[in-house]
């Protein structure tokens, strides 16, 4: 059965020769670096839960290619039920880790390439889809983690790729030898990139004729020659290098451990190239990816918020405020906002529609609504958590102060609240809340899967305003009433 165990995932990463830099230094092996370890531990949970019988239906499914049982993170959505199960899987993983578990970008990327390669073949008689199915079979058999690499650095935002002063601001093909392509450029914000086995490179935006070199979708092993990972900084990230509870989410880290991936003239053989110059299909590829990914946020942030609500409710008990009606009402508001986004993600999935290739797409306007609500509700849920937890989130002394015998009795004494709880419970829960409502977490909710304006534009385009005007006209001016009723007369 092609399902890796957590240990096999870690061992398989260790076997790769990934060229990665953290804090400006070359890392010997990503598995052994303390800044990366919590993110690897999080992904290991996605592998672990696939072996738990209770979660088998949520975490695994049967491959439509081989009929074998595979991880849902390597699956092509075959029905609305698959889309719903994905959201349920995301909520479960969010509840288990309380952070980003990183594999959804790759999942949505493989689905987007699967769908668009089919459409390109139908339009141009190419063979990308069969190539991609071969590659997907490999991913499913080996149960690999794929990072979807989509966002280009973009250089001058007002200029198109071909007008940039530096042509490498968007990943592009710089050579086309007979057996493949050579790509150059970089992708930014790559969630889980540094601890993935494979990179699936996609164009980051719709392209026009004349921009064929940028229209490239291809798969690159994480340790391919010329691939360089540069790990991003997070709020308070040096705390991960310390001992003790100041780190916050000590076991699973904060957000996904994003990395810049540089492609320094990387050769990609033809069997790993799935789009090469077909500019007219790039917009649809980005659209498919973004729509699937936007619906995800109702699942993963729902699970993360469950943990945050739990931590906040526990904090009210530690503080002794939990019996207050006002406190309960604020917890209810947090729950209400969380369940609203989760319900719309389930709705977007249940209303999924079949694509030409036979896979399923979530309802686009509902998916965009999910993500737009996330950009508000995650902040509001965080605001309420801060409100209920109190100012000490921002002022509590560090763990070393609690350990120093010269002052520990003071800091313990003056941070004790409800005596039923040890003061260190207040600190540990408080540090979790602090970290999971930090700038890094909030900004990820705001800009991940596209900034709010991208959702607004998509929603307005999908909203069928003319149909809504007709509905209004029919209600206001309609005459198709039951004859003989004493309805009021309208002048004019
Ligand atoms: Fe998955 Fe959510 Fe992380 Fe995106 S932000 S990769 S949907 S857990």
Q: How many CA atoms lie within 13 A of 277 on its CB side?
A: 7
**Cα–Cα distance measured from residue 468 to residue 457, given in angstroms and rounded to the nearest whole number:** 17
Question: Which amino acids are annotated catalytic?
Answer: 100, 104, 191, 258, 293, 297, 300, 444
Q: How far is the CA of 102 from the centre of ligand 1 (A)?
A: 5
pLDDT in tens, the chain (492 residues): 589 999 999 999 999 999 999 999 999 999 999 999 999 999 999 999 999 999 999 999 999 999 999 999 999 999 999 999 999 999 999 999 999 999 999 999 999 999 999 999 999 999 999 999 999 999 999 999 999 999 999 999 999 998 999 999 999 999 999 999 999 999 999 999 999 999 999 999 999 999 999 999 999 999 999 999 999 988 778 887 887 788 888 888 888 889 999 999 999 999 999 999 999 999 999 999 999 999 999 999 999 999 999 999 999 999 999 999 999 999 999 999 999 999 999 999 999 999 999 999 999 999 999 999 999 999 999 999 999 999 999 999 998 999 999 999 999 999 999 999 999 999 999 999 999 999 989 999 999 889 999 999 999 999 999 999 999 999 999 989 999 999 988 876
Q: How far is the CA of 108 from the centre of ligand 1 (A)?
A: 10
**Which residue is closest in CA terms to ligand 1's atom 4?**
104
105 lines ligand 1 (CB under 6 A): yes
Strand pairing of 146-149 and 69-71?
unpaired
Q: How far is the CA of 475 from the centre of ligand 1 (A)?
A: 42
CA 388 to chain centre: 28
Which is the closest atom of ligand 1 to the Cα of 256? 3
Edge to edge, the sheet with strand 216-221 lists 146-149, 198-201, 216-221, 273-276
**Cα–Cα distance measured from residue 344 to residue 340, given in angstroms and rounded to the nearest whole number:** 6
**Cα–Cα distance measured from residue 428 to residue 435, given in angstroms and rounded to the nearest whole number:** 11
Q: How far is the CA of 461 from the centre of ligand 1 (A)?
A: 25
Q: Which of the listed residues 192, 306, 448 should we mutate to test ligand 1's pocket, taking the one with most ligand atoms within 8 A of CB?
A: 448
**Cα–Cα distance measured from residue 408 to residue 319, given in angstroms and rounded to the nearest whole number:** 20
**Local structure of 464: helix, strand or coil:** coil
**Which residue is closest in CA terms to ligand 1's atom 6?**
102
Which helix H or strand E contains 335, and what residues bound it? helix 325-350
State the virtual CA torsion across 409, 412, 413, 415 in degrees, nearest 10. 160
292 lines ligand 1 (CB under 6 A): no
**Which residue is closest in CA terms to ligand 1's atom 8?**
100
**Which residue is closest in CA terms to ligand 1's atom 2?**
300
Provide the whole-model pTM. Answer: 0.93
CA-CA distances (angstroms) from residue 451 to 41, 226, 458? 28, 30, 11
């Amino acid at each position: 059965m092609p399902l890796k165990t957590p240990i096999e995932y870690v061992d398989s990463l260790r076997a790769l020769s990934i060229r990665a830099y953290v804090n400006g230094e070359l890392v010997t092996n990503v598995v052994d670096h303390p800044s990366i370890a919590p993110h690897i531990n999080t992904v290991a949970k996605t592998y672990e839960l696939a072996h738990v019988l209770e979660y088998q239906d949520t975490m695994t499914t049967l491959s439509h290619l081989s009929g074998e049982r595979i991880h849902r993170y390597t699956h092509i959505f075959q029905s609305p039920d698959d889309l719903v199960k994905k959201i349920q899987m995301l909520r479960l993983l969010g509840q288990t880790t309380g952070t980003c578990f990183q594999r959804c970008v790759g999942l949505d990327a493989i689905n987007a390439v699967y769908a668009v390669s089919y459409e390109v073949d139908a339009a141009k008689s190419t063979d990308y889809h069969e190539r991609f199915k071969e590659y997907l079979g490999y991913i499913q058999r080996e149960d690999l983690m794929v990072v979807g690499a989509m966002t280009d650095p973009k250089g001058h935002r007002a200029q198109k790729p071909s007008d940039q002063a530096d042509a490498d601001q968007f990943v592009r093909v710089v050579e086309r030898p007979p057996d493949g392509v050579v790509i150059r450029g970089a992708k930014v914000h790559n969630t889980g990139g540094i601890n993935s086995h494979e990179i699936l490179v996609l164009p980051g935006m719709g392209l026009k004729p004349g921009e064929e070199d940028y229209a490239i979708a291809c798969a690159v092993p994480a340790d391919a020659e010329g691939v360089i990972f540069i790990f991003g900084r997070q709020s308070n990230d040096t705390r991960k290098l310390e001992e003790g509870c100041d780190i916050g989410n000590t076991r699973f880290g904060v957000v996904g451990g994003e990395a810049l991936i540089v492609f320094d003239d990387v050769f990609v053989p033809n069997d790993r190239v799935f789009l090469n110059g077909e500019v007219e299909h790039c917009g649809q590829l980005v659209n498919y990816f973004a729509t699937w990914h936007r619906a995800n946020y109702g699942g993963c942030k729902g699970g993360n918020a469950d943990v945050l609500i739990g931590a906040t409710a526990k904090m009210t008990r530690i503080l002794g405020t939990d019996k207050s009606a006002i406190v309960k009402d604020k917890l209810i508001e947090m729950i209400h906002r969380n369940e609203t986004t989760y319900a719309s993600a389930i709705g977007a999935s249940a209303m999924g529609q079949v694509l030409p290739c036979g896979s399923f797409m979530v309802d686009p306007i509902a998916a965009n609504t999910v993500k737009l609500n996330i950009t508000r509700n995650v902040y509001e849920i965080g605001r309420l958590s801060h409100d209920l937890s109190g100012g000490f989130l921002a002022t509590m002394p560090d763990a070393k102060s609690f350990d120093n015998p010269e002052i520990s009795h003071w800091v313990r004494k003056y941070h004790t609240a409800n005596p039923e709880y040890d003061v260190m419970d207040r600190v540990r829960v408080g540090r979790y809340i602090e970290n999971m409502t930090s700038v890094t977490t909030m900004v990820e909710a705001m800009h991940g899967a596209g900034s709010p304006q991208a959702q607004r534009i998509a929603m307005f385009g999908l909203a069928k305003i003319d149909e809504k005007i007709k509905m209004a006209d029919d209600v206001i001016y309609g005459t198709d009433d039951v004859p003989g009723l004493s309805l009021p007369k309208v002048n004019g």
